[in-house]
Structure 1
Amino acid sequence: MRPTLRQLQYFVAVAEAGAFGPAAKTLHVTQPSLSKQIAVLEAELGLALFQRTSRRVALTREGDSLLDAARKTLDAARTFRAEAKLLAGDARVRLQAGVLPSVGAYFMPSFRERLQTRLPDVRISLTEGPSTELTSRLNSGDLDFVIASASDAAGLERLPLFDETLWFCSHPDDPLMASDAPCPLSELCGRQILTLSFDFHLARIVRDLAAKAGATISPEYSGASLDAIRQLAVSGDGIAILPSLYALGEAIRDPSLRVRRIDDPAAIHPVYLYWRSSEPNTSFYKRLAEEMIAEKTNIRMSRIPRFQF
């Protein structure tokens, strides 16, 4: 009997998801592959870990008894790898980071430049996605840290990085685009709002803003592309609400793009740094957060002369 760490990871993922399909999606494997590995694990243990029905997968009594031990084993393995890197003098040289799309394209390039002088030994590889997916992959050990919006994922530490203001764009002839001044939320009453799919926390914020304004969410788009909703809006298909990193970055790149800030206390997209609670090197992530906050401040200060915050 020799269960692998991967099999234990699969066991925990299925137990937490309560189904093979969502667990396979979280793990980025096919459902048949996941089912096969769970079957192999059960055969090696000589135990049934799950009760399978047509609608749901539930832990057996034995599976429930072993779940906590599996989680502790995975945490211990992550700690072992981290400490081994420290002893080898390769402390977090290469980090796998999960980031929101707007952060990946409009924050990480300048942040990487900053790291070249502040933390020259650190190299960061990027994976983009919605917050829930990224924090799940962080918990499973696929990522070292995540820059994401609000998440209720257990087993993670979190530090606030910055709040993105929310901006919007529309067709150039839309009366709302006649001014560059911050726009009261009430002026969006009766309008169709374009946003991302509800996998993204940003879309939930936008939904609440639309309800508060008396606007509606457009059915024209559901996906992960800020470019798509911006282009739809500029073509006259609604109003796209965009986080400041993306909105102002695109307005600088394309001077023909007009954007206005939404003047409302709720028009904020919070961004956090997440890492696993089991990580032994907490001070490193606190230092990383400090550098991120400083870089975001630099970005904002460079944009103040042009945009009305």
Structure 2
Amino acid sequence: MRPTLRQLEYIVAVAETGQVGLAAAQLNVSQPSLSAQLAEVEADLGVTLFQRGRAGAKITPVGEEIVRRARQILHELQDLRAAAQGGGIFQGRLRLGVPSSIGPYLLPGVVQRLHKEHPSFRLIVREESTHELDEGLRSGRLDMIISSPEDHPGARRSHLFTESLWAAVALDHPLAHDRPHMALSDLNAQTLLTLGAGHRLSHIVAGLAARAGGRVSDEYEGTSLDAIRLMAATGAGIAILPSIYAATEARRGTEVRLYPLDDPAASRDLALIQPQLPEPRPGSEVLADILRSEAQRLLNSDGA
């Protein structure tokens, strides 16, 4: 039957590397052999998958759909083998996409536990924006993602936790005084700092600013939570930070004062999300339980 599984691996590798030579090296085959196999697949299917030139191998629109389906077939085969061995996803590798606002703070403890309990499991992590995570899940480039469920309609979702939001202000800011929390009304006429527009967090902060009568800074859009925290420390505005970050990173420094925001909308939901197949991938709920457990540990560790 053509294309063969090996040929599917070839076209996925070329799509991911953008170079026939790099794909050949990755798969430990010669470049002429891989090129010949690509030509054979294109001839069998009657389509052009890649436009090849000096700049590399650029995937065509029809090639994107073929590669997406090829990834799905290869994932199904991987799941079949894992099911036969009884370990589900933990018998192979998993490409997990995460937002930069959660991955570096949640995953270290998760990876440590996975390595201890499932030593043969390979977790490959990609930090991306919400839009990129959705594209990766739809194209098959990512097996699962951690993200806000409302941004991925039609996917299979397993709720992990709800995270409250905190305000970080400079030590000499007028709002920096002893208080148990910060009310939404305190944000009136204030400049709020958040991540760029490609992240769900920015949409939540924009909604809070609109209700409070504040504004989201258009002079500075952070690419990381560390960056917006440090900008807040200079007096550039009030940084809005998720609670796991507040519990793990922000509280280790002395540049800002932190206050939980006292408003029901000052929160975000996070879920483990995978393609909507007839059944969830074997072992995915075990992974979700590990993620939930680590999140709860972090949220309870410092009162965040």
TM-score when scaled to structure 2?
0.75
Amino acid at match of 1:127: R
* Structure 1 residues 28-76: Cα deviation after superposition (integer angstroms, max 9, x where no partner): 859xxxxxxxxx8887655699xxxxxxxxx9xxx7xxx7x98666533
Residue of structure 2 in register with 1:215 after alignment? 214
Q: How many residues align?
A: 274
**What secondary structure, in the 3-state scheme, does the structure 1 residue paired with 2:176 have?**
helix
1:173 maps to which residue? 172
Q: Find the counterpart in structure 2 of residue 147 from structure 1.
A: 146
Question: SS state of the match for residue 170, structure 1?
Answer: strand
Matching residue of 1:82: 79
The normalised TM-score by structure 1 is: 0.73
Cα 1:303–1:279, aligned 2, differ >3 Å: closer, same or farther? farther
Q: Sequence identity, in percent?
A: 34
1:271 is matched with which residue?
A: 270
Question: In the aligned structure 2, how far is the partner of 1:7 from the partner of 1:121?
Answer: 24
* Alignment partner, residue 35 of structure 2: none
- Cα distance, 1:113 vs. partner? 2.9
Deviations, residues 246-270 of structure 1 (Å, cap 9, x unaligned): 1222233224532111110000021
Secondary structure, counterpart of 2:196 in structure 1: coil
CA RMSD in angstroms comes to: 3.8
Q: Equivalences for 1:144-293 in 2 at 5 Å?
A: 144-153=143-152, 156-278=155-277, 282-293=281-292
Amino acid at match of 1:112: V
Residue 98 of structure 1 aligns with an amino acid whose one-letter code is: G
* Residues 123 and 74 of structure 1, relative CA distance in 2, 3 Å threshold: closer
1:283 to 1:179, Cα distance in 2 relative to 1, 3 A = farther
Shift of 1:117: 5.0
Q: Any conservation in 2 of the 1:169–1:241 contact (CA below 8 Å)?
A: yes
Task: Verify the 8 A CA contact 1:102 1:245 in the aligned structure 2.
Answer: no
Q: 2 CA distance for matches of 1:222 and 1:7?
A: 39
Q: How far is 1:115 from its partner? A: 3.1
Q: For residues 154 and 228 of structure 2, what CA distance do their matches in structure 1 show?
A: 34
**2:296 equivalent in structure 1:** 297
Cα offset, 1:200, TM superposition: 0.2
Where does structure 1 lack aligned partners over 5 or more consecutive residues? 11-23, 31-39, 50-58
Separation in 1, partners of 2:301, 2:192:
29
- Kindly provide the amino acid, as one letter, of the partner of residue 251 in structure 2: I
- Mapped partners of 1:241, 1:181: distance in 2: 16
Alignment of 1:17-32 (within 5 A): none
Q: Secondary structure at the match of 1:240?
A: strand
Aligned partners of 2:119 and 2:43: how far apart in 1?
48
* Alignment-derived partner of residue 53 in structure 2: none
C-alpha deviation, 1:288, in angstroms? 1.4
Change (3 A) 1:193 1:252: closer
Partner of 2:22: none
